[in-house]
Amino acid sequence: MKKFILIVSCVFSFLLISCSKSNQVHSVNENALFTLGYGSFEDELNLFDLARNGTISTYMTMRDGFFYIANGEAKKILELNSYGDLLSLYYNDEYLKDVAFAGKNSISSTKKAISYPFSTLGPLAVDSRKYIYAVDTLPTERQERDASNRLLLSLVVLRFDSNGKFIDYLGQQGPGGTPFPYIKNIYTTRENELVVVCTTNEGLVAYWFNVDGFLLYTVPVSKNTVPKLKTNENEEAPAYVSVENIIPDCSEHKLYVKVDYYMASMDSALKVQSGIDYYTTFLCPLNVDTALYDEPLEIPPYEYSVTENLTKEIYNLPFDFLGVTENGWFFFIVPNEEGFIVQMVQPDGQRIVKRALSVDHSKNLYYTLSLSGNGIISGLFVRNENAQAVWWRTDSLLASFINQ
C-alpha cells in the first residue's frame, strides 16, 4: 500500500454517479483468489459492525504470492497463501482464545501461531527474508507529546523474523526510539531496508532505516521545500502546493515525492477569484544522500466528463500515487464509476499505459489496495457477506512492454 487505503465515501460520489471517462481504456482481468468469513476464529476477520461510522483498522500487503493481513479490530496478523490457507497467525492471546495450532510451532509444522500483545494494528510490510514489520500503538502511559509541533507520538513499528520471533520495535531513532506521529505507510526495499512515512502538521517525514533497524536518514518534506511550479518565462508561478505522497525507490536511496499544484480560478464576469482549480502533478525524485531533487516528471491527470443541461464539460483529476516497482515503473490510480483506472508510467516517462480495473463499488464497504515489487496490484474488498482477496496481473502487462 501503499499499502494504499481507500474508503468509499461522498468524496467520489459525484464521480461515480455523473461522470464518464473521456476515452476508452482497455481492462485488466481480475483474478479472484479467496474469501474470508467474519467471526472470532483464527482464519476469520473481525470487523465489528460495518454499518457503523468509524475507522476500519484492517490492512493488507502481498509479497511473492503470500498475503499478509493486519486485522486491527481482532488484534492479529494473518499470513495466507493465494488459496486462502492460513500459514501463520500472530495474535493477542488475551483477545483471541483457543487457537487450534497454538504451541505446535516446529520445523516440521506447516502452521505457526505467535502470541504478541498487539494493541491497534496499522499498515504492514514484508521484506525478502519474510521479516514482518507492523505498525502498532503503544499503551497510553508510554505515549509522548511533541508540544512544539503539536503532535501525539504514539506509534511504533514491530519487527518479527521469518520464524515469527519478535525482534524489537523501531521508533524515530531506531530500536526502542521515540514513538512516531501518525504513520501514513511503511515500505521495504530490495536491500531489506525499512522506510516509514509519517504525517505531521508541516507535511510528510520519511524515516529511512538500514537492514539492522538503525536510522540512516530523516527526510522532512513540505510544500515549502518541494520544487516550485515555473511559468514559461522560468519564473515562480503563483500556485497552491499539495504534497500527496512519498514512496521510496526499491534499489536506490531515493524518494519519489508526488506534488499536486493548484491555481486560482477567476470569474471572468466579476474579475475576482472564484476558487482553486487543479493544474498539474509532478513526481519529484529526491536523492536522500545529497538532499537534492532530480528533474521532475509530469504525470498526466485523469480526465472525466460531466454532462449537465446538454452541456458537456471535461475536468482533470489528479491520480493517487500507488507505488513503484522494482524495475522502476510508477503506478497511479483513481476510482471511477466502473472501478479504477490505473496509470503506469515508465521511469523516463517515454511510455504511459492506462488500464481499467473493473470493481463494483456498490458492493464494497471498505477496501485496501497494494502494489507488489514485481508489479501485481492486489486488493482486499470488504463486503456484507465476506471479504474477498483479488489481484490483477499487471506484472505480465509490463513484461510485454519491456520485451518489445
Closest CA to 178 of 222, 148, 145, 205: 145
Q: Residue 110 is which amino acid?
A: T
Task: For the chain, report the end-to-end CA distance as a whole number of angstroms.
Answer: 29
> Residue 40 in contact with residue 47, Cβ under 8 Å?
no
Contacts of 103 (CB under 8 A, 6+ apart): 113
Contacts of 259 (CB under 8 A, 6+ apart): 226, 227, 241, 242, 243, 244, 281, 282, 283, 284, 296
Q: Residue 150 is which amino acid?
A: R
- What pLDDT does residue 17 have? 37
Closest CA to 62 of 113, 126, 6: 126
- What pLDDT does residue 104 have? 57
- What pLDDT does residue 13 have? 40
- What pLDDT does residue 102 have? 66
- What pLDDT does residue 8 have? 34
Bridge partners (DSSP) listed for residue 283: 258, 297
Sign of the dihedral defined by the CA atoms of residues 248, 252, 253, 258, in that order: negative
Q: What is the DSSP letter of 171?
A: E
Task: Convert the pLDDT of each residue in 60-71 to its tens digit.
Answer: 999 999 999 999
> Residue 369 in contact with residue 361, Cβ under 8 Å?
no
Residues of the chain with pLDDT under 70: 1-24, 49-54, 102-109, 266-272, 274, 402-404
Single pTM value for the model = 0.89
Domain ranges of the chain: 4-402
Label residue 385 exposed, middle or buried (CB < 10 Å: 0-12, 13-18, 19+). Answer: exposed
Tell me which residue has cell 503532535.
151
Closest CA to 91 of 106, 110, 74, 69: 74
Give me the torsion for CA of 106, 111, 113, 119, rounded to 10°: 140
Closest CA to 33 of 83, 73, 79: 83
Q: Could you give the C-alpha distances from 353 to 188, 244, 295, in angstroms and in order?
A: 25, 22, 21
- What pLDDT does residue 264 have? 86
Tell me which residue has cell 486491527.
72
Rounded Cα–Cα distance for residues 198 and 208 (Å): 11
The 10 Å Cβ neighbour count of residue 30 is: 16
Tell me which residue has cell 486485522.
71
- What pLDDT does residue 2 have? 36
Cα angle 40-134-360, degrees, rounded to a multiple of 5: 65
CA R_g for the chain: 22
- What pLDDT does residue 134 have? 98
Please state which CATH class domain 4-402 belongs to: mainly beta
Task: Convert the pLDDT of each residue in 34-57 to its tens digit.
Answer: 999 999 899 999 987 665 666 789
Q: What percent of the chain has pLDDT over 70?
A: 87
